[in-house]
Structure 1
């Protein structure tokens, strides 16, 4: 039997109020940065059919905050009920959103600001008991996470946008060359997966349950650009046997030859475009902007495989000394800059093997931050799953169409990143900040 899951103790009302205020304020500052660094034509343009115009995200953030904080929690009268349909993500696919009568930038800013003002007034007197939506400030945490998730989406749009750079941030900087083992053995046996105690955990992370995992080896750090380049130069994109049938068909149809945003210069050097800057591909960074099919093919070429979602979480949370599951690889403390590359503090991943303070008890590094990591698993509900507070957050995505990503990227804020946090996307997606690490059975 594994030890009981350890989660965040529920804080007092004032501490919860302070946490909610800080989380909402941090998210809004980032939203403002991402929508104020370009002129209005860039806000209303669609930079890729895969993404919404930035102005849609801005008003959608305000609309979700109005729906769940002002109306659902506060019981207040609707401010702009006529726009609910425009900003319903399930009513209008992204490719159609530029044709909708969206709020113009100035009006969208005003609407989001007015909603926030009323939400903060509500927070001052909020009761953190009584209903599941208000317990431990869940609704406020959900909205902070929602805004940060859209901030990451908007950052992806900035990466897809052409033109001169408009975002700046210091690079992580060089790190001492990692000289530890290339892989770590994760012991077999049961562990506690998911959570029932993390106050702001979302429905797909719940409930905590015991999961049995056979012993396996996992990469100490994410796969690097240099390692992935070896796959390319060995004819990885030209060799059908490394790919699933669906993956090979996708490669052929779209003529894939390298990660998204990579290209060769006239001398054969590999370059990449990053937020409007063209630069040499850094060999020691985790590879970025690869789809699930590419990650899976690389793993096959390397004689390995992608870890399952359960394997990934055990490597990230299991403490063999105590048998319990931690909140994060390093322990139960919230992330700090010493632990992980999060929160758009940088505009790219740190060198592989960075953040020794953030490694797991088994010695696995960078499980949180830097790049989202593809796993072998489809998105499925945990035993005892209950949709909350609406089925469109998770339930409608369950099935084999979506693959699970874990760990968060440099673009993820700590409020939306935990050892239990689950992300998912289609296996063809490459514009997201996705990388991977590989695994193998103990006996392989």
Structure 2
């Protein structure tokens, strides 16, 4: 059932449940380490975990306590410290941040007030409150920071502190690629209640016929690229990509460790053999593009990816998710930190799209060869800094979510973006190619 179809009390309970789920995950990620680890910066690319925790509370206070609730500030004096646009991540450890005990106390106090606000909200009226949008925005914000904190855990040194069962086993897929037919489809959404501004509005996009990989590129396939000298041959790289490969001395995905003639990987403190049938992860856009060029293929565009994920040729409509309109379940996709790695190819047959494309949601974010821009008719809401200020940069698009993305923070319309050099994120890719005329006859 969609959010808009719920009654007010059912919606209120849904919001409360999502708020609790997000906070439970934040607690797991911050309680797993001691205070020294919480305040330490494990990488210049990331904030200290304690900054993320207090920032979560500060955003919740700004939007839900002060704006929706119309209440007095809890800690107006710390607004500047936790404004992500005021302080680059590399500079945050030097700020007079709340210590771990203060941060935990602050987010608890804010959350208590938020539940009072939720109890009194009509969940309608202002656009910000209709269908609980502001609450949904904050749920997604916390879950996004939880994924960021999970990436920080991957960067920390020391004994493993996070544990989860292995993902389900994979299975062979019948074909390596599928044809996506030529024609228009409805991209984006105008009806998803908690969709963010850059997902809106729905609009028709024509896509030429193309083939797309049935599954993301695996570790075994990527290792073949390395073994073939892919990192040493500038023919496969864009000019910008090759310059970065040389400057950063890239030789393999991040967290891969050479072991004689083979490779191991460091996964949340576990050094282990690399599963050959899992999607490759921790590669940047330049690496993904180089692999695709070496393989005689290319990366999909954003429109191509979304059509492969949503288009139902039997009805001509766009689904909410590849498998249909129902929310993600554990049978559909590897989401929500249930596992701490991508699942092997073929592990989620129930999550396949109508065209037969697998694992489009969950496992790894997928790099796409598209820049970040607003859709026709884009309107910034509720603030420009969520999307609009990033339009026109060097960002490349990512779609589908990863094993660290929560179901509340991903849809087949959800758009993510990052600099093309980023490798600490849980990103992989799949390839595509143009359809030849004889293949369409």
Match for residue 206 of structure 1 among 188, 197, 200: 200
Separation in structure 2 between the aligned mates of residue 173 and residue 281 of structure 1, nearest angstrom: 16
Question: Who is 2:363 aligned against?
Answer: 370
> CA offsets, 1:261-294, max 9 Å, x none?
00112x3220000000000111000000000000
Secondary structure at the aligned position of 1:382 is classed as coil
Question: Who is 1:20 aligned against?
Answer: 15
Match for residue 382 of structure 2 among 378, 389, 393: 389
**For residues 376 and 259 of structure 1, do their structure 2 counterparts lie closer, same or farther at Cα, with a shift above 3 Å needed?**
same
Deviant stretches of 4+, over 6 Å: none
**For residues 196 and 406 of structure 1, do their structure 2 counterparts lie closer, same or farther at Cα, with a shift above 3 Å needed?**
same
Q: How far off its partner does 1:125 sit?
A: 1.8
Secondary structure at the aligned position of 1:52 is classed as coil
> CA offsets, 1:316-366, max 9 Å, x none?
000000000000000000000000000000000100122000000000000
Question: Who is 2:345 aligned against?
Answer: 352
Question: Who is 1:251 aligned against?
Answer: 245
Secondary structure at the aligned position of 1:32 is classed as helix
Q: How far off its partner does 1:9 sit?
A: 4.2
Match for residue 177 of structure 2 among 183, 204, 209: 183
Match for residue 123 of structure 1 among 118, 122, 125: 118
Q: Are the aligned partners of 1:178 and 1:354 in contact in 2 as well (CA < 8 Å)?
A: no
Separation in structure 2 between the aligned mates of residue 138 and residue 114 of structure 1, nearest angstrom: 22
Q: How far off its partner does 1:7 sit?
A: 6.9
How many residue pairs get aligned? The number is: 437
Q: How far off its partner does 1:80 sit?
A: 0.6
Question: Who is 2:265 aligned against?
Answer: 272
Say whether residues 1:105 and 2:100 are aligned partners: yes
Q: Are the aligned partners of 1:10 and 1:199 in contact in 2 as well (CA < 8 Å)?
A: no
Separation in structure 2 between the aligned mates of residue 173 and residue 441 of structure 1, nearest angstrom: 33
Say whether residues 1:233 and 2:227 are aligned partners: yes
Secondary structure at the aligned position of 2:371 is classed as strand
Separation in structure 2 between the aligned mates of residue 19 and residue 315 of structure 1, nearest angstrom: 30
Separation in structure 2 between the aligned mates of residue 211 and residue 24 of structure 1, nearest angstrom: 35
Q: TM-score, normalised by structure 1?
A: 0.97
Match for residue 318 of structure 1 among 307, 311, 316: 311
Q: Are the aligned partners of 1:7 and 1:327 in contact in 2 as well (CA < 8 Å)?
A: no
Alignment of 1:42-441 (within 5 A): 42-175=37-170, 177-265=171-259, 267-441=260-434
Separation in structure 2 between the aligned mates of residue 253 and residue 410 of structure 1, nearest angstrom: 30
> CA offsets, 1:40-63, max 9 Å, x none?
000000000000000000000000
Q: Are the aligned partners of 1:10 and 1:136 in contact in 2 as well (CA < 8 Å)?
A: no
**For residues 7 and 116 of structure 1, do their structure 2 counterparts lie closer, same or farther at Cα, with a shift above 3 Å needed?**
closer
Separation in structure 2 between the aligned mates of residue 388 and residue 264 of structure 1, nearest angstrom: 47
Q: Are the aligned partners of 2:365 and 2:399 in contact in 1 as well (CA < 8 Å)?
A: yes
Separation in structure 1 between the aligned mates of residue 304 and residue 347 of structure 2, nearest angstrom: 22
Q: How far off its partner does 1:122 sit?
A: 1.0
> CA offsets, 1:156-194, max 9 Å, x none?
00000000000000011422x313100000011000000
Q: Are the aligned partners of 2:3 and 2:11 in contact in 1 as well (CA < 8 Å)?
A: no
Q: Are the aligned partners of 1:269 and 1:280 in contact in 2 as well (CA < 8 Å)?
A: no
Q: Which runs of 5+ in 1 are unaligned?
A: 1-5
Secondary structure at the aligned position of 1:29 is classed as helix
Q: Which runs of 5+ in 2 are unaligned?
A: none
Separation in structure 2 between the aligned mates of residue 295 and residue 248 of structure 1, nearest angstrom: 12
Q: Are the aligned partners of 1:376 and 1:403 in contact in 2 as well (CA < 8 Å)?
A: yes
Q: Are the aligned partners of 1:213 and 1:311 in contact in 2 as well (CA < 8 Å)?
A: yes
